[in-house]
Chain A
């Protein structure tokens, strides 16, 4: 297994891309920034599996935790509420260097 691109604690952004087809990055999270809480493992790419292609390279999957107010600026609950989501590496980009 190659070294994961994003270590636990890394600040990452779920890419803001809108391709057609079977997409595994939920729409409401695209463009949102969170932190890798841990590395789930390597898994086949479901966006390829969905079309019957199962032999491609595996992708590292990361559990990313996002603060609710960073998803919904008008979030009604306390600001420490969070959302965790498993994201395939192709949907993540680094977000550490720039302020949101």
Chain B
């Protein structure tokens, strides 16, 4: 089959390029390009909409979540607002957390939270960016709910037996963010320095923030 099938939609410049121009496209890359072009031709959305959405995706990273966590570490009133309404609290810092409600769960000396989505891969994308591969993997989704301490150990996280490990299975139309505990020995650090201690993985709950003294 070629272009000579008789349809005559005017084609503007194509708003996206295949990512690897010197390799044949896979079936699913072809499908993606064809779906996008048809939806643009039909006016469901525009090429500009698609570009802006791609930019929005690229603009999100764990730095957004880290900013929120660092503020909660230094400002107890903000922390209270964060725990009450994460989307509104993030907005105070100029972070648009979107319309799906995000719930922040707080780690304490007695409780360690860790997040999974066993049914699919729900993730707070607007605070952490796109999820890492392992978060979506069969191994993580299967095992975290049954042997959380073994999975945490694989991430190098060993927790004392007197701590309650609380696995949150994200099943409903909301997302979760873990508020880790501020590491000891960080009393002199400012908010920006604190934010640099907050990794994506500790906001999922599989690791703890690095203690700069260790």
Contacts and interface: CB of A to CB of B under 8 A. Distances in A.
Interface stretch (B32-40, B129-137, B142-150, B183-191): B142-150
Contact of A80 (B146, B164, B170, B172): B164
B172 to A, nearest CB: 4
A25 B150 CA distance: 24
Interface stretch (A4-12, A82-90, A92-100): A82-90
Interface residues of A, number: 27
A70 to B, nearest CB: 13
Interface in A49-100: 61, 65, 71-72, 75-78, 80-88
Q: Is the interface of B mostly helix, strand, loop or mixed?
A: loop
B173 interface: yes
Interface size class of B (residues with CB under 8 A): 20 to 34
Q: Is the interface of A mostly helix, strand, loop or mixed?
A: mixed
A16 B19 CA distance: 47
Nearest to A46: B173
B174 A86 contact: yes
A83 B145 contact: yes
B160 to A, nearest CB: 9
Contacts of B168: 83-85
A26 B171 contact: yes
A85 B165 CA distance: 14
B169 interface: yes
Contact of B171 (A41, A72, A85): A85
Contacts of B149: 76-77, 81
Nearest to B101: A41
A57 B48 CA distance: 36
